[in-house]
Amino acid sequence: MSGGTREPEVDQILRVRTGHGANCSSIGSVVDTLFATAIVSAAVFAAVLAALKTEDVKVVSPLARSRDSEAKSRKEKGA
Amino acid sequence: MIVRYESWGAWVKLESQPAIVALDRDGVRALGLDGGPAWLEGASVGGPIEVHMAVTARCGAGCEGCYLDARPDGVEPPRETLLGELDALRDAGVFTVAFGGGEPTTRDDLDVLAEDARARGITPVLTTSGLGLTDARLEKLRGFAQVNVSYDGASETYASVRGFDGAAAAERAIERLARAGMRVGVNVVLTRESFPRVHETLARARDLGACEAQLLRYKPAGRAASLDYLARRLTLDQARSLGPTLRELAHTLCATGDFHVRIDCALVAFLSADAELANDPARLTRLGVFGCEAGGALAAFTVDGRVSPCSFAFPTELRATELVDHGGDAVLTRWRAYLDSPAEPCASCSLRSVCKGGCKVVATHVDGVHGPDPECPRVVAFRQESRRESAS
């Protein structure tokens, strides 16, 4: 899916985790934005909204994979 | 962007900028999508969005506090094994894989593994000590979205954390990676000796070209799971001062927006001592702060192919290649369930939903139970008060 009319709103964003975070032992969170001005925070969310409206969409479905896995397991057990 | 449905909406990994976004169901519908089975009552729990993968147990650095107890003759799984694990990450819808160990740059196939991860839609990142980073090894890191170098401070400070002075090698690695055009960050372990110098450590890293610093709590795992841990961990006053310290670092080092400070999941508990942050958990949530996500948004793969709640926790029986079945694993379920009915003072803490009880690895090591983080300032105060009440 790409393009189309997409109008997500800022209130529909529950959280934004910025950056990659390359630590291999603990999950990390950017915190300097906690102390930034409201303008900086708003800019972060505005950039995210812009990307949500324009980027091509690919859906991944671990739930389906999990069901496949369960079915395979049942088959192997002869159920 | 890559969308992964969750019971509450969806996780979305953006491609045009390094960000992962949680959207509610209305937000997902606004994209023209529908969660379908994931939004039905009783759907499976969401899996990790980030996995830390030990790609080797080999390392010659000999850091005193190595959480993996890596050694020069440590095992190194073949690429085929890791490919199976990357397949499992793809099947589980994981967004990011962080390669570690051991020293991952000792592998000859790192560049190929980075390509393997990207071919599966997963963003690869990596942590290195920077020791022995030859030009050839450096070139193999270009496929990674970010490389973090372990750097706890200038020589004496570095040595106080790791038992040897590898600061110069780490500094050279940061500088060379940045000059080569790679996105480089630093991992800074906070002990009671390194904490007072955190400002100068981060300033030095930024000057060398790092774009980010991740502050890490010292944790009692691997070689650090000893009595020595108690002498190295942050003091209570240092834990209490984390909030003001972060505020100062943000204002002095991050104002231009080209350098960022991260804290690890285990440090979030210490923010309970900062009234401004503790009273606004919604802001922390909105800006993506994660506390203990072990077994939830985070999982780790051990070097022998098991799933752990996090890199510091004991592995489960679940094979890494079966990650998609994480929802049925009893151990991972227990880790996730802590938030449902935590003991006091977590139960009444304003940060409960963000912090999720602090570091359970520390709690298990210090208290012997999977409970509140005993080094959290709020927990310390609660226990002191309880003792006073019992005595009176």
Q: Does residue B375 lie within any of the structural domains?
A: no
What integer pLDDT is reported at residue A2 of this predicted model? Answer: 47
What's the rounded mean pLDDT across residues B351-363?
97
What's the rounded mean pLDDT across residues B37-58?
91
Give the pair of three-digit tokens for residue B165. 């002075």
pLDDT tens digits along A7-37? 899 999 999 999 988 898 999 999 999 999 8
- Looking at the 3D structure of chain B, how many domains does it have? 2
Same-domain status, B235 and B89: yes
Same-domain status, B3 and B149: no
pLDDT tens digits along B56-115? 999 999 998 898 889 999 999 999 999 999 999 999 999 999 999 899 999 999 999 999
Give the pair of three-digit tokens for residue B282. 């919604």
What's the 3-state SS for A54-79? HCCCEEECHHHHHHHHHHHHHHHCCC
> Which range has the worst mean pLDDT, B28-42, B85-99, B199-213?
B28-42
Same-domain status, B25 and B156: no
Same-domain status, B260 and B276: yes
Question: Residue B128 is part of a domain; what is its CATH number?
Answer: 3.20.20.70
Q: Which is nearest to B321 in space by CA: B311, B306, B333, B331? A: B306
- Distance, CA of B97 to CA of B117 (rounded, Å): 8
Nearest CA-CA distance, residue B268 and chain A, Å:
9
**Containing structural domain, residue B211:** 46-341
Nearest CA-CA distance, residue B383 and chain A, Å:
27
Q: With a threshold of 0.85, tell me whether the complex ipTM lies above it.
A: yes
- Distance, CA of B183 to CA of B146 (rounded, Å): 5
What integer pLDDT is reported at residue A64 of this predicted model? Answer: 56
pLDDT tens digits along B114-145? 999 999 999 999 999 999 999 999 999 999 99
Q: Do B285 and A15 touch (CB under 8 A)?
A: yes
C-alpha B200 chain-centroid distance: 23
- Quote the DSSP letter at residue B127: E
Interface test with B, best of A7, A23, A61, A68 (most B CBs within 10 A): A23
Same-domain status, B27 and B147: no
Helix (H) or strand (E) holding B112: helix B110-119
What's the rounded mean pLDDT across residues B219-236?
93
- Per-residue pLDDT band for A76 (boundaries 50, 70, 90) equals low
Give yes or no for B185 touching A (CB within 8 A): yes
What integer pLDDT is reported at residue B392 of this predicted model? Answer: 85
User: Of B227 and A69, which is predicted with more confidence?
Assistant: B227
What's chain B's Rg over C-alpha atoms?
20
Same-domain status, B193 and B250: yes
What's the rounded mean pLDDT across residues B374-381?
98
What integer pLDDT is reported at residue B65 of this predicted model? Answer: 87
Same-domain status, B247 and B300: yes
DSSP per-residue string spanning B160-228: HHHSS--HHHHHHHHHHHHHTT--EEEEEEE-TTTGGGHHHHHHHHHHHT-SEEEEEE----GGG-STH
Q: Does residue B288 lie within any of the structural domains?
A: yes
Residue B16 has pLDDT above 80, yes or no: yes
Question: Percent of chain B at pLDDT above 90?
Answer: 94
Same-domain status, B103 and B212: yes
Same-domain status, B252 and B154: yes
- The chain A residue lying nearest B254, using CA atoms, is A32
Q: Which residue has the tokens 């397991």?
A: A73
Q: Do B262 and A21 touch (CB under 8 A)?
A: yes
What integer pLDDT is reported at residue A75 of this predicted model? Answer: 62
Q: Do A25 and B67 touch (CB under 8 A)?
A: yes
Given B26, B121, B247, which is nearest A35 (Cβ)?
B247
Q: Does residue B392 lie within any of the structural domains?
A: no
Last residue of some domain: B302, B323, B341?
B341
Same-domain status, B62 and B38: no
Residue A73 has pLDDT above 70, yes or no: no
